[in-house]
Structure 1
Amino acid sequence: MNYTLFQPFTIGRKLLFLLLFCSLNFYAQYNKSGYTDIAKQRLLVHITSDYLHTISQGQIDKDSAVRASCRLYNLSILIPNNESYSNGTSIPAIKLLEEDKVNQAKNLLPKLKGENRFLMLLELSNYFIFKSGAQKTDLDKAEKYLEEILQQKKWDKWKIGALMLKANLLNQRGNTDASQKLYAEIEKHCKQSENNLDLARALLEAGKTLQYGNPKRLVYFQKALSIFQNLKEKEKEIETLSQINIEYFIARRYDDSQKLIYKILQLQKEIKYYHNQYAFDVLSYLSYRKGDLVKALYYSNKSIESMHSKEDSIFKGLFFLRRGQLYQHNGKSQEALFWYTKASENKTRETKLYWYKAFLSKAWVFNKLHRSNEALTLLKKTESEFPPVTDFEKMHFAFILGETYASLKKMDLAEKNYSIFQNIAKNYPLQYVHDEFPAAFFQIASFYQNIGKTYKARQLLKNGISHTFEIGVAEKSEYYYNLFKIDSVEKKYNDAIKNLLLSQKYKDSSFNEEQKKKFAELLIKYETDKKDKNIKLLNTQNQLQLVQSRETEREKNILLVGALLLIVIVCLLLYSYIIKQKNNRKLKANQLELDQKNSFLENLNDEQQKLLKEKEWLIKEVHHRVKNNLQMVTSLLNSQSAYLKDSDAKMAVKDSLRRMQAVSMIHQKLYHDDNISTIAMPQYIDELVHYLHESFDNENQITFKKNIQAINLHVSQAIPLGLIITESVVNAIKYAFLEKQNGIIEISLFQEDNDSIVLKISDNGIGLPAFTNKNDTNSLGINLIKGLTKQLKGSFSIENNNGVHIIIKFIYLNT
């Protein structure tokens, strides 16, 4: 009977993933994979998750296994499924997603533009598609993000990645046919564009989405493998070979599986990939199935030796379990108990996957050693602390409990628990059934044979071999031995002799004298190596003790010197304290003096602020009085012009009035504004032009266009500029347009660079007379403009081109 070699199992998808996440997240601080190359990081995640998914016999869904593997080595949860569009680089929003801060990441999406937005949409889809389970709400979110990408034709380079994500989404929804159809379209598109790398990736993913055992899986994988080999993509070649190996394992093609693992190990060595413990553990299991316990022990040693870090050793309970099983089948029950105990150390709910099987195996060995009361105590205590949760746990716990009651001769309780096992087992998915089922059925058959129910026993043997295409050598021996005992009870002696011979044949082939000798030699070698290491350790410890003794003597001397130094330091500190107190008294006196000076300065500052406010009020008052005086002069000139008979004299007076008004408006604004030194030019020019426009009775045939930047000029520049605008606009109104002619006057003021201001005044009138020299004009207006320009320290130019264009450029006094 070989119950203990059934594959390790799990406790249900969602619960186990939560437990795995909690236990693995404890280690998460930085990349702990040992690889900086993202291709190797992806390979590590895929191989680890495949192992975890396989040993759990389907109880952990693949997505949960992938995320648990990422957490174990603290790698991004996005990298296993984004290689068609990402090289592993990240942006802040994606980093939040990698840390499971999905709401914060989604809040950043509206702020992203261009490629960053589309990359974020892909990663959000990736996140929700490959979450544990296949919740409709998650898949709906993923589909919404994908549709935004697929609707944008200009982002063709994201198309393959988006389509592959959508194919996975369809598969997660259970629509396998639509998923496969989309993968066929992707394959066609990649062939047309000669994109062989994405073609191979698509073929690999298309195979992964199919159920284990589907013949199309191998077809996809073989095609992908050929392309990866041609492209020398060895990491992807290893990943694909691992998927092919799973198919061989499911189909019971154990010889092919063993050959493939040797090839995988060789490729891993070539690329310096050193996480080989999973491959060696599978080789150990396959060697056992073939009855070669020597090789099984060899590969068990290799799997334990391949654990390089704390992260790798999280699965050590599974590898220790394998070692215990091999000791047990070598007849070394005490050694087996030792390894089962090591495998079930640190029992917690979070690590239940790794120790629960070892606990059951330990109870099994207790029964074989006729220590059934200890087995029962262990089972009851563990059931109280960690009750079985899933069907897998319940049925195997019931089986071991039934074995224990049978050993204690409590046949009713044994049969009751055996019935629990059988009722659950008959509905268990066959694709997750391994050697533990035949082994259990054979043992229960032995129980019924012993109580005389041979028909029931024979039926259970038949059930045991129906669950698998091929049972191992040890199971064959157990099967035929049970048939021998049943045939003997039923007096079918010929059949009994035949079955006994077959049982002995398989037993001898699985563990003959030669194998026992080699097994013992290997154990001796292993133990010798272990002792040599312990001797080296002891020598090292002796040397360490000698060094420690010398260090102790040295520490005493140092302590004496230290005591003397301490006394000196205390004296220095005391002296320093006295000096410090003296200095503090001086500082207090200085502080008092400073406080008095600060008080005086504050009073002085208050007086200055008061004087400053008075100064500002006086300046405003000056502006107000200047404005009033200008208005008084303006009124006098208006009154005087009424008595003038000469039209030229009247015109001269009115021109003077307009100039004075331009200056008066500036003083008016300075009086009303809080700023008493600068003028906001857009408002000032707008008011000035409005005044000039109204001062002429031109029946609105002239239109003004203004383009004034938001510039503040010091009053020293604003007054000359206002007078220049006044002269230019008045001249244009008076002389540029014929009677009743419509016209346009444009005024522009803008900052040309950090230092220069440009004023342009243009009209579309008749222009200067033909005989006029624009560089030699003697009119008062032009001379006045030139003089004002000099006051601004600027340059003046006038153009005659479909009208007059005056350009003033001067230095900006930035106040």
Structure 2
Amino acid sequence: MRNALFLRRKGSGETIGVTLPASAMLKHFSVTLLLFCILSNGIAQDKATATIPELLQQLRAASGQQARASLLLTIADAYILKPGEEKKDLDSAGRLISQAIELNKSIGSNELTGISLIVQSKLYREQGAREKGRASAQQAIVWADQYHLMVQMAYAHAEMATYYTWEKVEELDPKIKHLQVAADYFGKSDRVEMKARTLEHLGDCLLVKGDDESALTVLHQSVDLYKLAGVAEMHGVYDLLGGLYASLGEYKEGLRYGLLAVKTMEQVTDTSTHWLAIYNSVGLIYNRLNDFSEAVAYFKKSARIAEKFKDSAALRLVWGNMAVGYQSLHQLPQALQMIQQVKRSFHPQDGDPISVGFFHAAFGIYLDLKQMDSARAYLRRIEHIHQLLPADHPRNSFYYYVAIRYNLAIKDFTKAGSLADSLRNFAERVHLKRELERSHFYKFQADSALGNLSSAIRHYQQYITVKEATLGEATQRQINRLKVEFQTEKKDSDIQVLQHEKQEKEVQLQQAGLRFKLIVAGIVVLLLLLVLLYSRYSIKKKSNRLLLEQKQTIDSKNESLELMNAAQQKLLEEKEWLIKEIHHRVKNNLQIVMSLLNTQSSFLESAKAKDAILQSQHRMYALSLIHQRLYQTDNLAVIAMRSYIGELVGYLREGLQKPGKIHFVLEVDDMTLDTAQAVPIGLILNETITNALKYAFPGTRAGLITVRLNKAGEDLLRLEVTDNGVGLATGIDLLDSNSMGMNLIQILTRQLEGELRFSRHGGLSVEVVFPLTVPPEGPSAQPASEQPTAVH
């Protein structure tokens, strides 16, 4: 069962607002600068640039009715947003709004009218007059729509969203709808940061609704917009993404975004209760990854924040998580101490489903301590809750866990095996992967003890299959690397871990040679397998053709013809399966070689050697991507170039990160090419883009790399990679270069039967024009149907 601490970020009743410098308003006398309107429920605005006394001083010096009306609304908004505002502050805001409305009667500004309605709505909401506030927000929406005020429309819908709560099911959809409209209008009015914050809140609401896929899309859009706007405070959206990925079982991504949330939060020195939820979330992910030491460390950080803010409810939950962590570390006295602290403050009740998590943790600790009477008492309390819950309620897994473990401990293996079967049926019915994995493991233990060896082996194999599907070895290595990378950026790096890694290097170096030999042997075996498969396929094809000819001679009836067509279709399906399997195995072996090269590079000190290995990895990735796409599509002969080039460019961009911002623009026609042309194109792109990233933009220089693949005439294609970097020094002839990359590009160009050209205007352009080979099936090349794609 997922043991999580659900701590929502502040927002359901808290409001955060914006003011703009009055000096700017006085200078331009324009209400278009008053884009300070209110968003609540966690959506912040433009940061205030002046205090209330400063704004009042500016109001006294202001001349002109429009500037004064704008300042009056700005000051009213500041009073409403004042932390811990009192009744007198809200009364002052009300008087200022009335004065602004009165001034605007002679001005007649539609923009000021829209702003005043939104500020009035917020005031009503802060005063508790929610019906009046809702009516004012609705009036602001109607007004903005009538006069086509996009900015006011965005803020009005955002304000209206605050009148709906995610805690009520019937109000969640209207809240989501208003946030979607607000985000759309923020985008149309080029309010990038405000659109990002609105999408962050929208993603949070979609998570509550259970629409994980839409939430994932929206939250990633929010991240991209935050980066585009140059916003540093992104720990909130990173935390949401971390929790979402973890709940989907993608722990690598969950940990990556969780650590990004921690890193960002510590860099911006956020002192809110965000720390409490984020530290706890990262601890839960580490717990699911069986890194219990790290989990307990983060739970302790979360507990310190809960104690600081005197949040007793959160503290009880964090204590419970710490108890489970200590138990997993076999530090049972500490685990028992934590569970007793929770018991003293929580007072769990029999028959209360909320208490089942505490009962489960207490049972496990007492069972490990061999205090069977206490463990049995908690088992009975959990069984009582199980009998009260619906059959498919997720909390029922608590009962199965404790009942199986108890019967294994008292050596009643028959009952333990029966309960493991019940847990498996329950997990399959409710779609709980973790519980399905554990059910097979418990069944393996019970069958092993009973001597049912064949059944035990079968369930252990199923346990391994489910476990590897959830978190494979490659994923685990990536997670460990992310953990080390994060730790090395902190001042208090774990020196002991680094020393331990240093000691292991000698052993790993000795093993590296053996691994390389095994890989070579594996490739040879794979080639032999490919020859064998092709030979078997040829023999079957020949035999089937002879059989079809005999059938046509013996029986020319329609029934025989149908039988022959069915046999032929079966052969075609077998052929496609075999070819897909070949591509799949080739792709897997290339990935293994890439992984080994990556491991080998970590032991090399020579920068040239590391660079050579990195280039080899990129070339292998370009090849493996071809095979991956071949076995994932129905057409085994052609490659969709637009998506292939997009994914290849994304991989190269991530693998060769630069200090400066390097933007990519892809102008690729919607076309499919056969592998004979797709492979050279992929390798040429790998060499040219890698060269541009490494040498065209030295230091932190920013720039643009454009990749084009389109028609150059009748039956001709043009592949072009252009950068606006520093270019080449005078006198350098690339065609005479002896570099491996340049030689490889020339060889690949000849393979394409094309012509290689270079241009040095404003950077460097590499162009290959070559004849089009029509793929075996489907269209060869189609005109572009979309605008160029920008990759940042």
The TM-score bracket by the shorter chain reads 0.3 to 0.5
Instruction: Name the TM-score, length of structure 2 as normaliser.
Output: 0.43
Instruction: Name the TM-score, length of structure 1 as normaliser.
Output: 0.42
The answer to which structure, 1 or 2, has the higher relative contact order (CA under 8 A, 6+ apart) is 1
Larger Rg: 1
